[in-house]
Structures are given as structure tokens and as C-alpha cells.
Chains A and B, each alone.
Chain A
Amino acid sequence: MARWDPPNTVNANEQIGRRLFDEPLLVGSAGQPSFSGLLLTHFEEKRGDDFSVDRLGKSSLDRKVIAYLKPRADAAGKLFSKPKSFGGWAVLHAREIKKDRARPGLQIVASPVNDPEPNDNVYHAHIDRPADMEAAFFALHLRHLFTTYGKVEPVAPASVSEPWWRRFVDPVLKLFGL
């Protein structure tokens, strides 16, 4: 069966995912209480007002779509000034973003990227930040929606390749205490 071909408009039943990259924490902050939620940094946009997301399936998570997006997300992690590893997506239904609550719902716009591989993404979409919402509140609001009405879809980290000879040399070095 062919991979899902996304339409030009984002439907309410679609699964929307926000990529989660590891972020270095504060220096010297050991011994803190644990925090089980998602860090706000995952929901901050540094490249403008549009909040980038991936469309992960027509109504549920589509494994073929995830297989398509995973290497692209890994490659995107290497583009940061300090490379970051990709750990998965925060996922929820599009209708939870579009729904009017205490605030009006947000609009999701399909915006496929046609760059050369691996920077292309036919499943890319974005959420426009309303003019009356400050960037910090926008990030807080989106994190609240993904945390309250969504879930985290983890992925296995990209395998770290090491040269084949390390398998033989390392045990020998260990014998000599090196």
C-alpha cells in the first residue's frame, strides 16, 4: 500500500506532531526536583512566527509516514549550531488545536517543503501565531494543548556508527587497562 498522500487542507482528524529534540539543560542545575512534563523549549520557534509541525497520519499515526519523516528529522537535528538528537514527536489530533476554548482555536496550514532530500517534507504544516498573542504565551499555550490532549510518540535514536575495528581493539585495550 502506498504511503499517505496528504491533501492541501489539514483535516480535523489528522494526527499533528511537533518534533522533540534534546536540549542541553542549565549548567550546574543538578539536584533539582524531577520534571515529567515537556520543556517549553520544544514549543519555542526561533525562525519566525510560524510553528512548524508534521502531519503524521490521516486519522492515526501512519508508520510509513513516520518512516519517511524520521531520517529527515534526524538530519534536521544536525543543522543546529550544536547538533541535537531527535527523540520523537509530541502528537495530538488537529481538532484539539482548531477547537475554540477560552481562546479561539488556531489554524493549521499545510505547507509542504520542496527542498532537496533530506530537507524536503511533503507532510510539513504550520500554525500561525495570532497577532494578539505574544511569542511566550503562544509557546505556553501550544505546550498546554499537546500536554493535556496529546501524547508523546518516541522513536529510537539514530544509531551511532563506529568503525568495525573498534570491536576488536577495545577489548585488547581494556585488558591493558587503557
Chain B
Amino acid sequence: MPTRTASPTKLNVFDNGTEATTKPVVRYPSADIAQPAPETLTQEAVRLDPAYVPYFLAVTPWLTAVEQRICNATLPEGYATLEKTEWVSQEVGAAAIRFFQNAADILPGEPFIYASRAGALVAEFAAANGALTTIISPDYTTLFAVKKDQPEDPVQINVKQGSNRLREDLKNISQAITVSHGKMGSTKHR
């Protein structure tokens, strides 16, 4: 912060007795004052006040565990040659975490997750009246659901990432496979 050291109205009296109105002088702190020593920075960075420790209730009891599993399996940059079904890329990992944070409250339950051979993240959900499979890639989320009493007519939906239709479609599917009534739609691409 610059510090103002003179008032704009203050008069300077010169040695010869003349008076002159002076401009306000603004002194900016020198660089060594503006930037604290590294030791000070470190001390301030690690200081934690217990009053600021965040405490949030998860939307669902399993969301944190699923996020942690995805983080564990997210491959750092430069390791793309490793086995594809053991790891997911950073783009896929980020898309998957966004998906679960956005939809955890309307999904049928905790998923079983694994990676597809194409590098996407697959999440399998089982419910009382059917099953839902989601395939999450950086661009699209694919939903495939089968009701136990309608095995001939599975629902297939492709939702572009960021589409506001995702929650509505998921809600319809979740309701259809968790309760014994309700007809699901057919193949859709959005």
C-alpha cells in the first residue's frame, strides 16, 4: 500500500522566505519492505486457525470415497503408456468427479467403477428393479439402463458434457430402476 506523507494543502517555506504550494508526495514502499522475507511467508502459509477448518456434510455417504478412488487412479501427465484399464487420464478423472458431484444425490447408490479399454470411466449401478451403466469421457456421458421387467427395451442416452439435461435424464432413469413402475424412454442423443 502506498503511504501518503504530505497533505496537498501544506505550504513549504523556503530559506529565502518565499512560500510555495507543493504537490502531495506519495512514497511507495521499496521492494525490500513490500515483500516479506521467505521465512515469514513460510510461517504464515502453514499457520492454521482451527476456526477455519471446513466441515461439510457430503451429499451422499459414498461420494467422498468415490472421488478418492478416482483421484487414486488418475494418471499424472506423461504416463499415458501405462495399462489403460488401471488408470484414467486427468481429463477423464476431472470429468468423472464433476459428474458425481453434479449427480450423486440422484444416482441409485454407490457405483462400482473401472476404466474401459477406450480410456473412459465406467460406473455400474445396481438397483432393485434394474441396472444403470454410465460411461464418462471428457466430451460425453453415456447412460445405458435396463429395467428387469423390460429387458427387450434398454434405454440409451448420450449427453454432452455440460448439458443441463443430464440431471433430468438421470432422475428419470434412477426412478425407473428403483421403483417398479414407470416406462423409460428409448435411444436418444443430446
Q: Which of B73, B83, B153, B156 has the most CB of A within 10 A?
A: B156
Q: Which residues of A contact B124 (CB under 8 A)?
A: 35, 37
The answer to whether the Cβ of A27 comes within 8 Å of any Cβ in the partner chain is yes
Q: Is the CB of B116 within 8 A of A44?
A: yes
Interface size range of chain B in the complex: 35 or more
CB distance from A100 to the nearest CB of B (A): 10
Q: Is the CB of B146 within 8 A of A29?
A: no
0/1 string, A119-151, CB within 8 A of B gives 1? 000000000000000111100110010001000
CB-CB contacts below 8 Å: A31-71 with B: 31-35, 37, 39-41, 44, 46
- Report if A102-B72 is in contact (Cβ < 8 Å); known contacts: A24-B85, A25-B114, A41-B117: no
Interface size on A, residues (CB 8 A): 31
- Report if A136-B135 is in contact (Cβ < 8 Å); known contacts: A26-B73, A27-B73: yes
- Report if A135-B114 is in contact (Cβ < 8 Å); known contacts: A27-B73, A32-B69, A144-B146: no
Q: Which residues of A contact B131 (CB under 8 A)?
A: 37
Q: Is the CB of B69 within 8 A of A29?
A: yes
- Report if A134-B158 is in contact (Cβ < 8 Å); known contacts: A24-B86, A82-B83, A140-B133: yes
Task: Tell me whether chain A's interface is mostly helix, strand or loop, or mixed.
Answer: loop
The answer to whether the Cβ of A167 comes within 8 Å of any Cβ in the partner chain is no
CA of A44 to CA of B109 in the docked complex: distance in angstroms?
26
Given known contacts A33-B126, A141-B154, what 9 new A-B pairs fall within 8 Å (CB)? A26-B73, A28-B69, A35-B124, A44-B117, A44-B118, A136-B118, A137-B158, A140-B133, A140-B135
Q: Provide a sorted-by-A list of 24 A–B residue pairs whose CB atoms are within 8 angstroms.
A: A24-B83, A24-B85, A26-B69, A26-B114, A28-B69, A28-B71, A28-B73, A32-B69, A32-B113, A33-B109, A33-B110, A33-B111, A35-B112, A39-B122, A40-B135, A44-B117, A81-B83, A102-B152, A137-B156, A140-B133, A140-B135, A140-B142, A141-B154, A141-B156
Residues in A lying within 8 Å of B, measured CB to CB: 23-29, 31-35, 37, 39-41, 44, 46, 81-82, 101-103, 134-137, 140-141, 144, 148
